[in-house]
Amino acid sequence: MSRDTLRYLSIAGLLGIAILASAVLMARRPANLRPSSARTFVADIDNWRQTDQWRIVETPYDFRLGPNLADLPLEIGAWKGQDIPQTNLEVFILLEPEQYIFRRYKDSAGRTLWLSLIGSRKSKSFHPPQICYSTDGWQTALSAAPIPLRDGDIYALYLDAGKGSQRHFVWYFYLWPDEGRDPAAGLVLFKVTVPAAAEDTSPQEALDIAQDFVSSIFTRASRPTK
């Protein structure tokens, strides 16, 4: 058997395992889990250092790295989601995430966004999404921007990416279970992508969509007292 054939069979096998793992996770997770009492997490725009934009955030959902991460409901407020199996092998081979969740959410008005959650204890599992867009030929602009919640603002890195007639608006930040930021306790990347429904979709319209979704998950963000 040739090397090319062996390589093809190996990749096909890995792809099958990845799809099977996604299917098992979806089968085990309830579609509409009742949220628990409020939990607090630390959110920041950098996973390497603490920035002035870090916040203590409250949410009824459990974003600790572990089985509970996949229990984020498919129905959140007016948003209804669907798990999308990840078929990009590079996500598993290069990033080696401990957990990876990729979903498409829609609301009653037909607005759409994608949610990505990457959980890991390894630093190699996290890299700026801007790298992927730029490598694929997208023009990008990156900045830090607040997302208003019902109480306070949660800061995110904001990526405006365009390629031909395509345009994506992306907000992402990192979540730790406490202020210790211990890598052994795990870290979660929270990323929301709003694809432009039309070429004239404005950044403000995209922000309105992201804000409505994010504020359905996180109820409060406060500045640290120290």
What is the pLDDT at residue 139? 93
Question: 195: domain range?
Answer: 3-222
What is the pLDDT at residue 83? 93
What is the pLDDT at residue 44? 96
**Under 8 Å between Cβ of 64 and 186:** yes
What is the pLDDT at residue 120? 86
As for how many domains the chain has, the answer is 1
pLDDT-flagged residues of the chain (< 50): 2-34, 36
What is the pLDDT at residue 20? 40
Give the closest residue to 83 by CA, choosing from 68, 96, 73, 93.
Answer: 73
What is the pLDDT at residue 90? 67
Residue 221 and residue 155: Cα distance in Å, rounded?
Answer: 9
